Structure 1
Amino acid sequence: MKAATLTVFCFTALASLAQASSPDAWAAFDKAVLASCTQASQLSHPKPVGNPAQFDDRVGYTALLLQGQYPQKHMKGQQGTELCLYNKKSRTAVVTEWDSIRSSDQPR
């Protein structure tokens, strides 16, 4: 009887650990991703395009598109797009230019 009670207790404890994160936890995570990505951005006034893309934990990254203006004088305030990859483990972001994501009907 003691073994059965212990087994039930263990499964209950493990089940509580397996619950999904709360909406508040996801909101805080999204806020951290946005802050890290905008800080890493080379664009002026970068803004997110849509919501972050959550990859499987095996990948370890979250992706976010940013749009803003190129700060270089010769770019004359032209709009640019960057892809940000946020590393969940190290909590750091890297960006790369991704202007090719624009469809052909969008002005450059």
Structure 2
Amino acid sequence: MRLMGLPLLALIAAASPNADSTPRDACIKASGMDDAATSAPVHFSDRSALDVLMVTGRYPPRVNKGRAGTMLCLYDRRTKMAQTRDAGAWSRTPQP
């Protein structure tokens, strides 16, 4: 009986996806950016079930001529959906 538990545990571990890969993949897809990469997710409480990520990459040539850009991504852990918004103003140095 004890030997049977180890293979089952290994199977469960192998089937469990990396917890961070889904938000990262969803945010990269939602951004539509080329060569996109994300920050580590910032997890909010289970009550809100939201994660926030920063996405950096290059805008598609048809949008902004391939310029580098930054987007914020809001990922809903319940629905597994991501929304992105341009965060260019946040990455600029504030004016005195």
Q: What is the correspondence of 1:1-108 to structure 2 with a 5 Å cutoff?
A: 28-48=18-38, 50-73=39-62, 75-104=64-93
User: Structure 1 segments of 4 or more deviating over 6 A?
Assistant: none
Q: Give the deviation of 1:72 after TM superposition.
A: 3.0
Query: Relative contact order, CA 8 A, sep 6+: which one is greater?
Result: 2
Q: Give the deviation of 1:99 after TM superposition.
A: 0.8
**RMSD value, Cα:** 2.1
Letter in 2 for 1:64: L
Gapped runs of 5+ residues in structure 1?
A: 1-24
Q: Secondary structure at the match of 1:93?
A: strand
Q: TM-score, normalised by structure 1?
A: 0.64
Q: TM-score, normalised by structure 2?
A: 0.71
Q: How many residue pairs were aligned?
A: 79
Aligned to 1:5: none
Percent identity, aligned pairs only, is 27
Letter in 1 for 2:32: Q
Shift in alpha-carbon separation, 1:30–1:74, aligned structure 2, 3 A: closer
